[in-house]
Amino acid sequence: MVQEYVSPVRVHKYPFEMVMAAYERRFPNCPQIPVVLDCSITEDSWSSDDSQRDTTRRCQLNVEAPYLLKKMIGVDYVYFIQKNHLDLKSRFLEIEATNETFATRVGVVEKCKYYVHPENSDWTCFELSALLDVKNFFGLESTVEKIAMKQYAANIAKGKELIESFMMEVHADGIKELTPWTAGDPHNNRELRRIVSRGTEPLSPRPLAETRQQSIPDQFTLDSEYIKRYLGELTTMQESRLLQLRKWIAELQKGKVPSDTTLLRFLRARDFNVEKAREMLSQSLLWRKKHQVDRILSEYETPDVVKQYFPGGWHHHDKDGRPLYILRLGQMDVKGLLKSIGEDGLLKLTLHVCEEGLKLLEEATRSSEHAVQSWCMLVDLDGLNMRHLWRPGVRALLRIIQIVEANYPETMGRVLIVRAPRVFPILWTIVSTFIDENTRSKFLFYGGKDYLQPGGLLDYIPKDLIPDFLGGPCKSFVHEGGLVLKSLYVSGAFTEREGDPLREDSIYRSVSLGKGQVHEVVVLNKDPQSVLTWDFDVLRHDIAFTVFRSEHELHNPVDEVNSALCVGGGADEGRSVLEQKGWREGEHYHRVEPTLLCHDGESIQGSHVMRCSGAYVLQWRCELLDAPPAQLVYFHETLASHHYRQTSIRPT
């Protein structure tokens, strides 16, 4: 298995010559790196003009491995060959180290480079990469890889610290400044050679003609201070993965590379697996190009319906400096918005919000002293009821959630859910399975007025920024929402995907009921505490809806779909299964939900916790006298008890 590691660029704020004088003091060994026991020079030569030096060292290392492993492989020490090429004229040092011990079983190639900072000639850059190829190591390949990575991380961490430490020694010796190598100044050049080699005489001379060209600095590098300031604290492995993804995406795109914060978000979404992150990001970049998402901030025009009825908007920031977005979901008329602007319109609105969020993150990072990489969301559920379980609306929202999860990963830092009502666990059970597990872990729930208690909003939002509708002092300009006027509905805005009753793949069923007829669905429940939900629209005339329960068995061989039995057909068509049995209410069956008279054009959503086993009957009855048949489209679903019980919300 082959592993490649790349470190970001470290910057030493000293001239190149001073850094070289400090670097040489790490040989033949130093207490700061106890793993290196000794480094002996085997080859050393200078060019005749004192501008270039080639040095080969054989380094003895004490492997930081378990005692048992050392005994198994039969060695206490390993040896590396380090080759340095110093060019004082072009001002760079290239280092290559390879393992001598177990070279046929493990291949280690470490390359380092010191060079002048491209924007400040008084600073010096350092970069390092390593390639590890564990071919065959007594069945201990994974262990060897972990030990090597641990050592690599330790070297990275100590590198800058070592230069600072040795620079103090250089200053203590009275060396405060060194003049760079200059053609025609042999006296200065010889003195510079003496200092950067600590007076070591070469083992063999080398003619001037043998020169080496400086390799071109890798354009896919990052400054370590830049990473800390704009990307936050990253481990050595994470830094390496970021640089790898940056290089790969640049090669794929042949053009503009996404920002480092974007790359980092996709890496985090895939647990820093570069292959998976690259695949996810590549798909997202194609999606953005196809749908011209980069133009949405400049071209999106907010529909009037959204301006009047959409209860969401940005509201200052939380205590961590994250931009804060407020959504008053309980006051949001999902059906009305979808009927007015359609699913595509709601998606464009969502994408516009996300693009605004990315821009706000950049502004927050620039204005603060640390990286701000995600936003906070405050969701107010006051007013949430069963109408929010309208299935076409839920399905549309789930599709939008999936698109956001795929293209804006790791942007949600925290979600604060307040005033969660009794019905919320049902909605959460349906929706939560479509939300990434890592994102779900960022949700905090508060029922009733719990958000005002210790551990509530004041732990996350500054007191003076708590919005007024939650009892705070800060005026919120987020719209209150409310039901969208039906006069604003647009014909055909939301029909293609909502589950047309006439479509073969629809989850809804269509029923016509004549005078005195009933339509029933019998749900045979064997899972106490499961939740029965329903969603139906009355398309013509009035219909009475009731839910019954019986401990007696009910069977109807005519139609059975998903454990539901539907009345229809035969001599008893249109009659209740309860009436066919000759049963009496209160003796053989009980009414568990009161009768609800539903009028023409109404959309009804509801639920019932089936606390006991038995047969539950959803009944729709037409009480018309002389009129065309009433029409109904409906859908029902049972939420398993273990899903419902596992929901962590406990609203009051």
Q: Global pTM?
A: 0.66
Q: What is the mean pLDDT of residues 460-481?
A: 94
Q: Rounded to the nearest 5°, which phi and psi values hold at 66?
A: -55, 145
Q: What's the mean pLDDT when you consider all of the chain?
A: 83
Using DSSP's 3-state secondary structure scheme, residue 177 falls into coil
- For residue 114, what are the CA distances in angstroms to 129, 160, 166, 178, 198? 12, 12, 16, 17, 18
Q: Enumerate the β-bridge partners of residue 375.
A: 412
Distance of CA 410 to the CA centre of its chain: 3
Higher-confidence residue of 330 and 426: namely 330
Q: What is the mean pLDDT of residues 381-409?
A: 86
User: Are the beta carbons of 427 and 389 closer than 8 angstroms?
Assistant: yes
**pLDDT, tens digit (0-9, with 9 covering 90-100), for 594-621:** 999 988 878 788 889 899 999 999 999 9
Query: pLDDT at residue 238 above 60?
Result: yes
Q: Which of 312-316, 498-502, 515-519 has the lowest mean pLDDT?
A: 498-502
Percent of the chain with pLDDT over 70: 82
**Residue 502 — very low, low, confident or very high, per pLDDT cuts 50/70/90?**
very low
Rounded Cα distance between 596 and 338, Å, is 26
Q: What is the mean pLDDT of residues 132-148?
A: 58
- For residue 499, what are the CA distances in angstroms to 429, 505, 598? 21, 8, 21
DSSP annotation of 299 reads H
String of b and e for 207-230 (b: at least 16 CB within 10 Å)? eeeeeeeeeeeeebbbbbeebeeb
**pLDDT, tens digit (0-9, with 9 covering 90-100), for 10-36:** 889 999 999 999 999 988 888 887 778
Rounded Cα distance between 451 and 327, Å, is 16
Query: pLDDT at residue 494 above 50?
Result: yes
Q: Which of 238-242, 245-249, 283-287, 537-541 has the lowest mean pLDDT?
A: 537-541
Q: What is the mean pLDDT of residues 559-587?
A: 62
Query: pLDDT at residue 472 above 60?
Result: yes
